[in-house]
């Protein structure tokens, strides 16, 4: 089988470029061991690429403009993408994912998308969400620290809102801060593979994990998180996924992030094998 791999550009791997490259090559190496022919391109080349000669495309691309062009070209009629182009685009819009989770009854903190680049900010909170809140960019994945901002007051929220406007983002959202243990998870939908770890045990992109403080070790059901995550991954057509949940004092999970094709840094070797098998398992 002929398989094309699309590498992620460095600006979409803030402080994680080495880890993203490692999982990409790990999957490629496993596919080669399985006897498949694997070629590579960078994501800035994908708009002008002919995908028809390939049986599968394994992509870590995140450039919204280029992915939108691929969607308009309907390239997935030619070959199957892992993850899907539409799924990656959905994951680039946190408000869209939050809305889909709301429709699927997946637990998450309350959120309010911006409208016309505005949010209903008051002394008490944002809309009916009291402080503290998070402002999150919805025009693509987080590339810089100010793409996600923690706000504890009206003054901080107004300042963060101005930052979003000055950065020329068109859409962002406010989301309630949830207290509890911050847990990162990694999974491959359609398989039994699922791993989790406390955020403090891994590499931090921007250092925001410290806001929740030391973990209390609240007991929780990881199988329940996988069930929610697999449902969402199937809905979005993003079988290779990762994300973050907050575990509250009652052991309840609250989803605060869901991402396409993370670095799997804490479980890369096993994940590479599972991802490679998932890419070809439908044949």
User: What would the DSSP string read from start to end of 48-80?
Assistant: G---TT-SEEEE----HHHHHHHHHHTGGGTSE
Instruction: Average pLDDT across each block of 10 residues of the chain; the chain has 283 residues. List them in order.
Output: 95 79 96 97 96 96 96 93 97 96 98 96 98 94 84 97 92 97 97 95 66 92 98 98 97 97 95 97 69
d(CA 216, CA 102): 27
Do residues 159 and 121 lie in contact, with contact meaning Cβ atoms separated by under 8 Å? no
Token couple for 186: 């990694």
Helices (H) and strands (E) in the chain, counts: 7, 14
d(CA 247, CA 230): 18
d(CA 194, CA 225): 9
Please report the pLDDT score of residue 134 as a whole number: 97
The phi and psi torsions of 39 (rounded to 5 degrees) equal: -115, 165
CA separation (Å) from 81 to 85, 89, 114, 179?
7, 13, 31, 37
Size of the chain in residues: 283
pTM: 0.93
């Amino acid at each position: 089988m002929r398989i094309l791999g699309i590498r992620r550009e460095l600006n979409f791997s803030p402080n994680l470029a080495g880890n993203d490259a490692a999982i990409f090559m790990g999957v490629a190496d496993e596919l080669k061991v399985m006897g498949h022919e694997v070629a590579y391109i960078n994501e800035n080349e994908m708009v002008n690429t002919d995908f028809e000669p390939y049986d599968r495309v394994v992509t870590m691309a995140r450039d919204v403009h280029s992915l939108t062009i691929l969607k308009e070209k309907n390239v997935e009629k030619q070959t199957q993408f892992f993850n899907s182009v539409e799924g990656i685009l959905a994951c680039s819009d946190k408000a869209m994912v939050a809305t889909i989770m709301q429709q699927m009854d997946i637990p998450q903190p309350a959120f309010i998308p911006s409208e016309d680049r505005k949010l209903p900010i008051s002394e008490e909170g944002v809309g009916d969400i009291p402080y503290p809140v998070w402002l999150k960019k919805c025009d693509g994945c987080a590339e810089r620290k100010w793409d996600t901002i923690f706000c504890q007051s009206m003054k901080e929220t107004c300042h963060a809102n101005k930052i979003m406007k000055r950065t020329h983002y068109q859409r962002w959202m406010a989301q309630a801060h949830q207290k509890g243990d911050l847990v990162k998870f990694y999974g491959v939908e359609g398989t039994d593979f699922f791993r989790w770890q406390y955020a403090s045990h891994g590499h931090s992109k921007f250092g925001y994990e410290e806001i929740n403080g030391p973990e209390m070790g609240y007991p929780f059901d990881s199988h329940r998180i996988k069930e929610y995550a697999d449902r969402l991954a199937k809905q979005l057509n993003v079988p290779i996924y990762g994300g973050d949940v907050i575990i509250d004092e009652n052991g309840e999970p609250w989803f605060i992030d869901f991402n396409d094709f993370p670095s799997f840094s804490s479980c890369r070797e096993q994940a590479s094998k599972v991802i490679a098998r998932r890419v070809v398992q439908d044949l």
